[in-house]
Structure 1
Amino acid sequence: MTTKNNHPNSVTVRVPATAANLGPGFDSIGIAVEMWNEVTVEHGPFEVVNAGAGAETIPTDDSNLVVVGARAVYTARGARFPDLKFHSVNEIPIARGLGSSSAAIVSGIVAGFALQGDGCDPSEALELAAAIEGHPDNVAPAILGGCQIGVKSSDRWITSEIPLPEDLHAVVLIPDYVGETSKARGILDDQVSREDAVFNIGRSALLANALATGRLELLRHATEDRLHQPARSGIYKGLNTIIKAALTGGAHGAFLSGAGPCVMAFATGQEYTVAYEMTEAARLHGIEASTRVLRPTSRGAYVVGSEQLR
């Protein structure tokens, strides 16, 4: 259905979950995985309805990040923001380090473009989303799919995709408690030593190379980090034990997903053994958790019934 000016009356957008950092790539590398939020936006009296994961904790006013994302598009175009109804069905758990906020922002942005009858330019979507989120590591793969490197050059963001092995799986441990991104960022040092900077620079390069060339045995070293995980292990009990358990179970590498508390491991076999070992390690620390075995997805956000944005 369309309105008289050929703008659609409603759109439905799907956006994947994302994991950021991947160990050493702090605020600059992220990957999209097969877990999806679906958002329908239509013209009508303002309303926000949430269903699915964490629905009871998500705002239903104009601070809702789907609304924020949609509004950003109209503001960028100098257009009046109309009354809209927002209905979200969320599979991505809230505040666990799987990009729930980025998914909400991106879904609003994509819907905002679509409701104006425009195609969504990924570069413009990235600029808007990163301006809201503050960094590109989740929003870039949420928009583009795949594993993305995002860096800022002058006043714009540049992305580059890291090719992934076809048989790569992501094993995700999802604790039953939420993380606080502001707290997880607030405990980080403002300055780091040259030694730690070099440690992470080298491993970020090794990570990209290992994934692109399929030399997955390097991931054990390439997912190590000194910039954020050591500090965050103080607020996420058992983090280091869970990472070690994943490696013992057969994972190639493991790391804190985003700001946590989820832990993600890369595997190309023995995925359910890895999941079991991670769950047992969490249990020994008194942490109840579930696990998911997911595939990376090369598809980023899209309007249902349409093609990929890029």
Structure 2
Amino acid sequence: MTHGDGPSFALQVPATSANLGPGFDSFGLALARYDEVTVCRTDGPLEVWVSGHGAGQVPLDGRHLVVRAMTEACHAAGIELPGVRLTCLNRIPHGGGLGSSASAIVAGLLLGRELAAAAGAPRLTDETVLALGTAMEGHPDNVAPALFGGFTLAFTDDTGQPVAIRREVHPDIRVVVFAAEEASSTHHTRGLLPATVPHADASANAAAAAVLVHALTCDPAFLYAGTRDRLHQHYRAASMPATAQLMAELREAGYAAVVSGAGPSVIALVTGEFDVSRWRRAGFDVDFVPVCTTGAHLLP
């Protein structure tokens, strides 16, 4: 350990589920399963400590995603990243479609914001953090809910800047997360999508996305209709057969089930009774996970 410790900041950042069926690259939902990340300014070189998911696999130097995001935030504020000790307790599975990379990026940007502000630099706005995170992640669908919590609709405006609209999730809705034990590559699954889609499919998804906003915020009776997708899930099904089978079985039983992000995890948006024990499947860890309403937040 280094000596001469300076300001220390700790935060929780939530898992997220993107797309939610028809809201491809736009819709996101924050889930109350958290990574905990702590940074302490030191007078020595960079130190990175990781436990939980990714331990022994992720780099422990400047290539670490949280470190890269802290560096981006500091640069945006006009300073260099100082010597720090970073400690990550990861509870979000890596490569499972639950937003682990976006959560790491948001954690790093927010911690970098605090480090820069403590050094007297201008404090970055949430809008700047969203823009930096979107640039690093490539799209805002996971970054927005990780940052703001709840249900978010994110898009890029005419100036090229990402915008996020946050809505409260209807209190009757519960989220069942089927966290896949195996990982998949978002880059690979995105490569399975066609360059163009039939007009009818695009039209159907536009309608479903509009219905889903209403269902998530006002009337859960429309959840099943609102989670229909014809743009991306079936194109990826062959690459994750267990995921496709689980989702098909859930929807056949009348549940609003979707692939979480690029998969292979699945979520179901339910109301009323849901027998978790009946739906346990090999390769998936299933449980209710509350919606995170706060987004990433500093700890006392």
Q: What is the TM-score when the length of structure 1 is the normalising length?
A: 0.89
2:227 corresponds to which residue?
Answer: 223
Find the partner of 1:263 among 266, 291, 298: 266
2:287: which partner in 1? 292
Identical-residue share of aligned pairs (%): 34
Q: Which of the residues 145, 163, 172 maps onto 2:168?
A: 163
Q: Specify which of 179, 184, 187 is matched with residue 189 of structure 2.
A: 184
112-121 or 189-198: which moved more? 112-121
Question: What secondary structure, in the 3-state scheme, does the structure 2 residue paired with 1:56 have?
Answer: coil
Distance in 2 (alpha carbons) for counterparts of 1:135 and 1:157 = 8
Residues 1:304 and 2:295 are matched in the alignment:
no
Whether 1:62 and 2:65 are equivalent positions in the alignment is no
Q: Is the 8 A contact 2:16 2:29 kept in 1?
A: yes
1:83 shift after superposition? 1.8
What's the offset of the Cα at 1:106? Answer: 0.5
Which residue of 2 is the match for residue 239 of structure 1?
A: 243
Moved more, 237-246 or 143-152: 237-246
Equivalent in the alignment of 2:217 = 212
Cα deviation, residue 97, structure 1: 0.4
The residue aligned with 1:9 is 7
Aligned to 1:218, what secondary structure does the other structure show?
A: helix
Separation of aligned partners in 2, 1:111 and 1:229? 35
TM-score, length of structure 2 as denominator length = 0.91
| Deviation at residue 196 of structure 1 after TM alignment | 1.1
Conserved 8 A contact 1:18-1:138: yes
Specify which of 31, 34, 53 is matched with residue 33 of structure 1: 31
The structural deviation recorded for 1:205 is 0.6
Structure 2 spans left out of the alignment, 5+ residues: none
CA distance in 2, matches of 1:111, 1:164: 27
Contact 1:66 1:105 in 2 (8 A): yes
Residue type of the partner of 1:262? S
Displacement of 1:224 after TM fit? 1.3
Alpha-carbon displacement from aligned partner over 1:110-154 (angstroms, at most 9, x marks no partner) = 001111226552111101100100111000000000000001012
For residues 225 and 66 of structure 1, the distance between their equivalents in structure 2, rounded to whole angstroms, comes to 33
SS of match in other structure, 1:26: coil
| Equivalent residue pairs, number | 290
**Following TM superposition, by how much is the alpha carbon of 1:240 offset from its aligned partner in structure 2, in angstroms?**
3.3
Distance 2:292 2:40 in 1: 27
- Matches of 2:277 and 2:141, distance apart in 1: 28
Alignment of 1:63-82 (within 5 A): 63-82=63-82
Segments of structure 1 that go 5 or more residues without pairing to the other structure are 306-310
Give distance in 2, aligned partners of 1:63 and 1:156.
26
Deviation at 1:155, TM superposition (A): 2.3
Give, in whole Å, the separation in 2 of the partners of 1:27 and 1:278. 28
Give the Å deviation of 1:13. Answer: 1.4
Give the deviation of 1:277 after TM superposition: 4.2
Match of 2:205 in 1: 200
**Over aligned residue pairs, what C-alpha RMSD do you find?**
1.8
- Residues of 1 paired with 2:176 and 2:154: CA distance? 23
* Runs of at least 4 residues off by over 4 Å: none
Equivalent residues of 1:175, 1:289 under 8 A apart = yes
Distance apart, 1:184 and its partner CA: 0.6
1:138 alignment partner AA: N
Task: Check 1:256–1:277 CA distance in 2 against 1; reply closer, same or farther (3 A cut).
Answer: farther
Residues 1:279 and 2:280 aligned together: yes
